[in-house]
Structure 1
Amino acid sequence: MEIFQIVVLALMQGLTEFLPISSSAHLILPAELLGWRDQGLAFDVAVHLGSLIAVVFYFRRDIRLLIRDGLSGFIDGHFTAEGRLAWLLVLATIPAGLAALVFDDFIATNLRSATVIAAAMIGFGILLWWADVRGARRDSLTQLNWKKALLIGLAQAIALIPGTSRSGITMTAGLMLGMKREAAARFSFLMSIPVITLSGLWLAMDLLALDTVPWRDILLGAVLSGISAYLCIHFFLKLISRIGMAPFAIYRLALGALLLWVIWG
């Protein structure tokens, strides 16, 4: 890969991993417009690693409390708010993990097309907008229960469809269930940690089979993806309560329409 391609795709992946606008749509658009070849397995592993490092570093204090209180609550049966949240995150991760095991091959064979991505961008963009407008936006993370966590986890499984956006569909579900915008976003970002870890390990297993590993691409991709992902999380959580989801929904509709125009034009 050329340096310019690495920089563009790494920054794009880092930003779109956590914004509700779909990373898959943004990775296919440069290929369609500029004729770039697929970035390859090694690069996918690198940008996943960068995004994972970013979200873990940003929430490092929260993660420390979640692990400590989650384990102590499991042992003595007395759960703090953090301990309870830790197990709700575990519960919310299960549906996506099971869905990936069952449907991954089918999705890779039948749904990884620009048309599917464009349709998902538009359809789930409208749903995100509706959830933001109609949602009660009253509940914080401490008011989350196991039923709502499971429903958000089921929504995360839908994100296996390219163009859906993992963060977008989980925030949509949180808003539909009455969560505040920042609470829905924070829960979505915390949910991403086990999912990105598992998907990264899955890709890394295939990486071991490669004869040569492009270490320059991996290092540069991971660093740039990590920086852009960290900044994205930081500013998104600061601004989301004020700006709402409408700008991201409009962006999804516009990008989906652009993809359709590129494909069919």
Structure 2
Amino acid sequence: MSILNVILLAIVQGLAELLPVSSSAHVVVAEKLLHLDPSAPAMTLLLVMLHTGTMFAVIVYFWKSWRRTYFSSVAAFKRFAFLLIWATLLTGILGEVIKKIIEKTLFKGQPKAELESLFSRLDLIAPALAAAGVIILIAGLYERRHRLRSAVSGAVSGAAATLSGADSNLTLRQSTIMGLVQGLALPFRGFSRSGTTISAAMLADAPRERAERFSFALAVVLTPAVVGVEALRLLKAAHEASLAGSPIDLHSSISASLLGMVFSFLAGLAALKWLSAWLESGRWYLFGIYCLLASAGVFYLYKIGY
């Protein structure tokens, strides 16, 4: 894989990961157009290393906000840590259950049953994008209607004062919903993790700022575990390929992944600034419309042979 391809994929990932439009779907489509195999171990490792770059972008961008809210006091931090661990635990349990169900049903009787082998299936990515688009659209319209009602009732200033208070954590119910939705999003390329978790929280009456902060905090906790899983998968594939007489160039794969991480970090910072601006302007629903249009585009690519 050329350096130009790595940089291109990193920019696509960095811009799309932190927007609620499914970076995985965009990267898979880009890989398909570049005639690369998205399900190959080297490519899935590259993808999670690109996620690592955007994870660092999240930390840099949100650090002041997290310090002002989650680290404002010992009580606030304890509450935040509990909700974060709880939501991540739910993600891991549900995600693993769904992964096992898929592998035991779609791959029944096959010796190598890996969910990652489905990641290049555009016919599966298209409906996942559409489902995410519907959820985001509903949440965006729900928020927009709530804004209008608040403006009419003259309650905007009072609501703002409440939201800026000392307690800036989500409720247990809201964090539970976000953890479960994140677990549902993990196995499916195209089912935007950030888009669906933030939207689900908004539909559970969480202020969008809190939902955004918590969703990306969840990503920071989740990313190292995903990187570890994919690194082990690549090492396993390299060992098997070596035994078969066709070794994988691990040095090249790791170097490409690290380069991609740097570029996805830079693109991620730009995307975060745009995302926050769109959230503040109440145009969240437009991301849903985009996902629906992207779903149609992905399905078209599938129909013409990609």
TM category (shorter chain) comes to: 0.7 to 0.9
Does residue 128 of the first structure (1) align with residue 114 of the second (2)? no
CA RMSD of aligned residues (A): 2.7
User: How do 1:115-264 residues align onto structure 2 when only pairs under 5 Å count?
Assistant: 115-135=123-143, 136=146, 140=163, 142=168, 144-160=170-186, 161-209=188-236, 210=238, 212-214=250-252, 215-264=254-303
Output the TM-score relative to the length of structure 1: 0.85
Q: State whether residues 66 and 83 of structure 1, in contact with CA within 8 Å, keep that contact through their aligned partners in structure 2.
A: no
Once the two structures are superposed, residues 17-43 of structure 1 have per-residue CA deviations (whole angstroms, 9 ceiling, x without a partner) of: 221101121022123334233362442
Count how many residue pairs are aligned between Structure 1 and Structure 2: 257
- Name stretches of at least 5 consecutive residues in structure 2 with no aligned partner: 104-114, 148-158, 239-247
Change (3 A) 1:152 1:17: same
Distance 1:183 1:66 in 2: 10
The alpha carbon displacement at 1:239 in A equals: 3.2
Once the two structures are superposed, residues 224-262 of structure 1 have per-residue CA deviations (whole angstroms, 9 ceiling, x without a partner) of: 011111221233123312042122112111111011111
- Name stretches of at least 5 consecutive residues in structure 1 with no aligned partner: 73-78
The alpha carbon displacement at 1:150 in A equals: 0.5
Distance 2:87 2:131 in 1: 23
* Larger Rg over CA atoms: 2
Output the TM-score relative to the length of structure 2: 0.74
Amino acid at match of 2:293: A
Amino acid at match of 2:126: A
Identity of aligned residues (%): 28
Amino acid at match of 1:190: A
The alpha carbon displacement at 1:146 in A equals: 0.7
Amino acid at match of 1:156: Q
Q: State whether residues 13 and 225 of structure 1, in contact with CA within 8 Å, keep that contact through their aligned partners in structure 2.
A: yes
Distance 2:273 2:20 in 1: 15
Q: State whether residues 94 and 180 of structure 2, in contact with CA within 8 Å, keep that contact through their aligned partners in structure 1.
A: no
Change (3 A) 1:67 1:133: closer
Amino acid at match of 2:141: V
Change (3 A) 1:252 1:68: closer
Change (3 A) 1:143 1:58: closer
Once the two structures are superposed, residues 115-164 of structure 1 have per-residue CA deviations (whole angstroms, 9 ceiling, x without a partner) of: 12101111220221111112446684726211121011111111122211
Distance 1:99 1:181 in 2: 24
